[in-house]
Amino acid sequence: MATTRKRGSAAASRMAESTRLAEADAGAAPWRDWGPYLSERAWGSVREDYSADGNAWDFFPHDHARSRVYRWNEDGMAGFCDATQNWCLSLGLWNGVDPILKERMFGLTGPQGNHGEDAKEYWWYLDSTPTHSWNTWRYHYPQREFPYGELIAENARRGKLEPEYELVDTGIFDENRYWVVTVDYAKGGPRDLLMNVTVENAGPDEATIHVLPTLWFRNTWSWGYSDHPKPSMRLAAGRCENETNTARLFGGENGTPYPKDGINDHVLHGADTVNPEHHGTKAALHYTLTVPPGGSARVRVRLVGVPHPALDADPTAVATQPIDLAEEFDTTLAARRTEADAFYDAAIPVERDREEYRVARQAFAGLLWGKQFYHYDVSRWLDGDPGQPVPPPGRGRIRNGSWRHLNNHEVILMPDPWEYPWFAAWDLAFHCVTLAHIDPQFAKDQLILLLREWYMHPNGQLPAYEWNFSDVNPPVHGWAAIRVFEIDGRTDFEFLARIFHKLLINFTWWVNSKDREQDNLFEGGFMGLDNISPLDRSALSPDVGFLEQADSTAWMAMYALDLLDIALRLARHNRSYEDVATKFFEHFLTIAGAANAGMMWDDQDAYFYDVLHLTNGTDVPIKVKSLVGLVPLRATLTYDGSVGDADLPDFTARAFWYLSNHPEALSLFHTSDVDGVRHRMLALVPPDRLIRLLGNVFEEAGLLSDYGIRAVSAWHREHPFVIRIGEEEASVDYEPAESTTNLFGGNSNWRGPIWMPLNVLLVEALRDYERLTPGALTVEYPTGSGAQLTVGEAADDISRRLVSIFLPGPDGRRPVHGWYDRLATDPRWKDNLPFHEYFHGDTGMGLGAAHQTGWTALVAHLILTTPQDK
C-alpha cells in the first residue's frame, strides 16, 4: 500500500535554496561556482588519448591513473571542485589490505567487458540541491582485498550469452564485511564547503579504515604555456606533487621525488614520497579509524575560500586561525539538510507517495552529481602542447579532425560521471527537461551552450560526443527548448529567440546533408539508436545502396513542428517571425506527406519501416517492429485558436491557401472544437493510422512490456528478421537484455530493452492526440484485452509502468535490482537507487551504465507530470 507524506518544513527553510538560486541567477552570489564537477573517470577517455591508433582505453588504463597526470581534467570519488577546476577535493580510502588506495572507481574497459565497459563498484548519489549547498554520496567499500584481477579475468572468460560478472557475485560482501561510506557536503557560503565523511562498519568484527580527504591542483603548468604558472599549497599533513611517476610507468626519471602517487606509496608502504618541507600541489589528511561492528565514525573537513568572515578577510590567516569544526559545522550541516528537504517538498507534488518522492529526489540527485567540468580544445589536442611530446601524425583522420573550432571549457550536464564522462548532444536535451523542474536557468543555459560558436560546427552540425563529434544524433534540441520554456512559466521569449536563431542553421544543415534524393525522406545513420538495425546505418557502403530511415524522416518532421511551435510563440510578440512560421508549416507537410506516401508506411502491417534502396534498383523494407517505426508518432503539434487567426493573419491566410491548393495534405491537418475553442493538430500519423499502429504497439507479446515500450518487439524472439545482401547476412531478433551483436563495440543494445527517452517522447505524443479531441480517440489497451482506453489514459499507464521500474512491487523488491537479493532486500542497499542506461524488456532489471541518471532522470519528469493513479 502506498504511503503518503506530509509537508512539514518552515517557510524560511522552503525559501532558502530558492533564494540561493535567485542570487546565483542574478549574479549576486556565486552559489554555483563550487560543485560536484569532478569527474569519476578521466582515464580511458578520448581527451587523454594521444595514441597513434585511437585506442583510448589502452593508451591510458586504470592502472596508470594513480601515477599519471591527466591533461584535460581530473577524477576522484565524491569529488568537488571549482567551476574551472583549478582545485579538486575528493575522498581516498584504504581498508588495510588492498594493493592500492581507493581513490577512484574501478571498472572494465570496452575490450575487457563481455558486454562493454562497465563499472564494478557500488555507489549512489542520494541527494543534491541545484546550488550544491547540500549533497549526499554513498559507497560500499569491501573490507577484504578488492578483487581487481578476478573481475577482469572472469569477465574476459564469459561470452556475450552470459551475464556480466559483478562485484557482488564475487562474494566479497558476504558476512556484511564492508564499510558504508557516506559523504555529505554542505555550504556555509558560496565558497565555504563543509565535507562530512561517515564510515559505518557493517561487518561482524572490529575493523580499521584509513580515510584520506585529498586536495590538489589540476596540473596545467606542465603544458608549457606561460599563462599557467605552478601553484602551491601548505598543509601539516601528507603532501606531494600532482606530477606523473615517470619511473614507475615508463622507466624514466621523475621530475620530483614526490609524484602523484606519492601519498599512495607513503600510506601503504611507508615510502619517503611526501614532501617534508610541507608544500606541494597535492595533499591529504590521513585518519586511521578503528570502528566496532555496527559502529560508525566520522571525519569533518572544511574548505574555505578567502575572503571569509572566519578569516577576517586575511588570506594568511588560513594557516594560523582555526575554523569551527564542531558546533558551527554541525549546525550548518543540519540547516542545509533541512533546507534541501523543504526545497524538494515544494518541487515534488505532495500527493506523491513516499516511494515516488524517493525516486524523484534521487533521480534529481544523480542528474545534479552528473554536472562535470569539461575541457577539450580539439586544435590543441590534435597539435599537442609546447611542454609535451608531439602527438603522432594522422590523429585527425581517426576522429574529430574536422572539429578544430571546438573549444569546450564549461560545466556541462553529462550522461554520467563514470561510463560517459562527456557531453552527448541528444542526451543533454533530455537532461535539461528534467532539470528545468528544479533549476530552469541552468537548463536554459545548457541548451544555449551547445548552440554556441565554439560548439556548433560552422556548417551547422551539432557535436555528437567526443568519440566522434561527426556522428548524427536525433535533433531534439527544439523539443527540449519548448519543454524547458513551458516548465519555466512560458515567459522567457528571449531564450526561445536565441535558441530559434541557431536551430535555423542546424535545420538547414540537416536538409542540405541528410536528404540524398531531395525527396524529403532522410538518412542520418545510427541516429543514437546504435544497433537497433540489422545493418550498421552509419557505415553502409555506397556500393550496396542507401537507406531512407523512418526515424530520421520522422525526427525531421518533428523538428519542423518544433520550429513552427517556437515561431508561433515568438510571432505573437514579434510579427517578423510570422512568415518563418509559415515556412515550417509547409515544410512539415511536405516531409509528412512523403513519409506517408512512400514505402516507409506498410499499410498491411500498419507500421513504419526503413527502406533500403539497393544499387540494382531493388527496394527492400527493413521489416523490424522497433522504436524506429514509432518515432513518426512523435511528429505531432497541437495548438488552439489563441495561436493564429486574428493574431497572425498572414500565417493563417497562407496556411489555408496551402491546404486548399494541396488537398493531399489535409489528412495531416486536423481541427476540433473543445469548449468553444478551436483546436488544431498537425500530425505525421493521421488518427486513423494511429489507432491501427497502436494495435501493434500495445501487444504485450510484442512491444508493450510491464515496464514500458520495448526497443524491439518481443515477437521477433521467435521471428527474427533476416536480410541477405550479396554474400552477407544480417539479422535482428529480440534481445531483452545485453546485446550479442558487435555493432558499435557491442556495448549498447537497442534490440529489446526499455529506454527511457523514447518512451517519454511516445507518452508526450499520445497526450498531444488527446488534446485534439479529449476522450474521443480510444484504443484497445492492452491489445486483445477488450479494454478501451483513451490515448491519453494509455499514455498515463505507460508512464506508470516506467516509474514502476524503481518502485517496490508486491514482494517489496524494486524491479531495477533484478535477481540480486542483496541489492533488492538488504536494508542497507534496497533504497539506494541505481538509474541505469536501459532496462530488461521482460523484467525491468537495470542494464548498461548503472549511473546513467542523465536521461533516465526523466523518471522524475514523469512523476511530476503524470496524474496520480486512482
- H or E element at residue 636: strand 636-640
Exposed / middle / buried, residue 806 (Cβ in 10 Å: 0-12, 13-18, 19+): buried
Q: What is the pLDDT of residues 34-84, one digit of tens each?
A: 999 999 999 999 999 999 999 999 999 999 999 999 999 999 999 999 999
Give SS3 for 104. coil
The C-alpha angle with vertex 377 and arms to 477 and 468, in degrees rounded to 5, equals: 55
Joined together, the cell numbers standing for residue 525 give: 545513420
Rounded CA separation 868/797 (Å):
11
Can you give 784-838 as a three-state secondary structure string?
Answer: CCCCEEEHHHHHHHHHHHHHHCCCCCCCCCCHHHCCCHHHHHCCCCCCCCCECCE
Q: What is the dihedral of CA 377, 510, 428, 588, to 10 degrees?
A: 160
* pLDDT value, residue 91: 98
Predicted pLDDT of residue 639: 83
Ramachandran region, residue 748 (left: φ > 0; alpha: ψ -120 to 50; beta: rest): beta
Place of cell 542506461: 837
pLDDT at position 677: 83
DSSP H or E run through 730: strand 728-732
As a whole number of Å, the end-to-end CA separation of the chain is: 13
| SS3 call for 349 | coil
Q: Which pLDDT band, with edges at 50, 70 and 90, does 327 fall under?
A: confident
pLDDT tens digits, one per residue of 220-272? 999 999 888 998 887 644 568 899 999 998 899 999 999 999 999 999 999 99
**Separation CA 260–CA 274 (nearest Å):** 10
Residue 7 has pLDDT above 90, yes or no: no
Q: Where residue 315 falls among pLDDT bands split at 50, 70, 90? A: very low
At residue 322, does pLDDT exceed 60?
no
C-alpha cell, 718 = 521467435
Check: CB of residue 757 under 8 Å from CB of residue 428: no
pLDDT reported for residue 115: 78
- pLDDT of residue 318 exceeding 80, the answer is no
527-569 pLDDT, tens per residue? 889 888 888 888 888 888 999 999 999 999 999 999 999 999 9
How far is CA 214 from each of CA 17, 75, 92, rounded to the nearest angstrom?
28, 12, 7
Asked whether the beta carbons of 429 and 760 are under 8 A apart, the reply is no
Give the confidence band of 5 by pLDDT, cuts at 50, 70, 90: low
DSSP, collapsed to helix, strand or coil, labels residue 748 as: coil
DSSP assignments along 416-429, one per residue: -SSS--S--HHHHH
As a whole number of angstroms, the distance between CA 391 and CA 394 comes to 9
Residue 334: CB partners within 8 Å, gap ≥ 6?
none
pLDDT tens by residue, 411-459: 999 999 999 999 999 999 999 999 999 999 999 999 999 999 999 999 9
C-alpha to C-alpha distances, 48 to 56, 57, 196, 215, 319, nearest whole angstrom: 7, 10, 32, 22, 36
Q: In the structure grid, which three cell numbers stand for residue 754, read together?
A: 526499455
Give residue 96's region: left, alpha or beta (phi > 0; psi -120 to 50): left
Omega into 307 within 30° of 0, i.e. cis? yes
Cα separations in angstroms, 767 against 298, 760, 860, 865, 866: 50, 11, 18, 11, 11
Q: Which long-range contacts (C-beta less than 8 Å, at least 24 apart) are formed by 650-655?
A: 650/575, 650/578, 650/579, 650/582, 651/568, 651/571, 651/578, 651/579, 651/581, 651/582, 651/585, 654/579, 654/582, 654/585, 655/582, 655/585
d(CA 44, CA 103): 16
Instruction: Give the CA distances from residue 419 to residues 109, 568, 851, in Å, rounded to whole numbers and listed in that order.
Output: 9, 40, 8
Asked whether the beta carbons of 183 and 137 are under 8 A apart, the reply is: yes
- Contact present, 552 and 579 (Cβ < 8 Å): no
Q: Which of 761, 619, 347 is nearest to 609 (CA)?
A: 619
* DSSP letter string, 173-217: TGGG-EEEEEEEEEEEETTEEEEEEEEEE-SSS-EEEEEEEEEEE
Q: Distance between CA 712 and CA 842 in Å, rounded?
A: 12
Which residues make Cβ contacts (< 8 Å) with residue 604, sequence separation at least 6? Answer: none
Q: CA angle, corner 346, sides to 31 and 805, nearest 5?
A: 100
pLDDT at residue number 9: 61
- H/E segment holding residue 709: strand 708-709
pLDDT, tens only, 743-772:
766 667 899 999 999 999 999 999 999 998
Taking 50 as the threshold, does the pLDDT of residue 316 lie above it?
A: no
Say how far apart CA 330 and CA 399 lie, in whole Å: 50
- Number of other residues whose CB lies within 10 A of the CB of residue 857: 27
123 forms beta bridges with 139
pLDDT digits (tens, 9 = 90+) for 155-194: 999 888 888 899 999 999 999 999 999 999 999 999 999 9
Taking alpha carbons only, the member of 608, 490, 613 closest to residue 557 is 608
Give the per-residue pLDDT at 321: 45
Q: What is the pLDDT of residue 206?
A: 98
- Quote the strand ranges of 474-618, DSSP E: 545-548, 601-602, 607-608, 610-614
Peptide bond into 147 cis (omega under 30): no
Dihedral pair phi/psi, residue 260, rounded to 5°: -55, -40
Q: Residue 748 has what pLDDT? A: 74
Instruction: Give the count of beta carbons closer than 10 Å to the beta carbon of residue 99.
Output: 10
Report how far residue 346's alpha carbon sits from residue 623's, in angstroms, rounded to the nearest whole number: 48
Rounded to whole angstroms, the Cα distance separating 737 from 755 reads 11
Find all residues with CB under 8 Å of 138, minimum gap 6, and list them.
123, 124, 126, 180, 181, 182, 183, 832
Question: Which residues pair with residue 102 across a beta bridge?
Answer: 93
Q: Among positive and negative, which fits the CA dihedral 446, 447, 453, 458?
A: positive
Average pLDDT over the chain reads 92
Kindly indicate the confidence band of residue 211, based on its pLDDT and cuts at 50, 70 and 90. very high
Contact of 773 with 731, CB cutoff 8 Å: no
Does residue 607 carry a pLDDT above 60? yes
pLDDT tens-digit profile of 464-486? 999 999 999 999 999 999 999 99
pLDDT band, residue 738 (cuts 50/70/90): confident
State the helix-helix crossing angle for 425-435 and 354-369, rounded to 10 degrees: 130
Give the cell for residue 597: 506516401
Q: How confident is the model at residue 319 (pLDDT cuts 50, 70, 90)?
A: very low
- Provide the Cα torsion 411, 416, 422, 428; round to 10°: -70
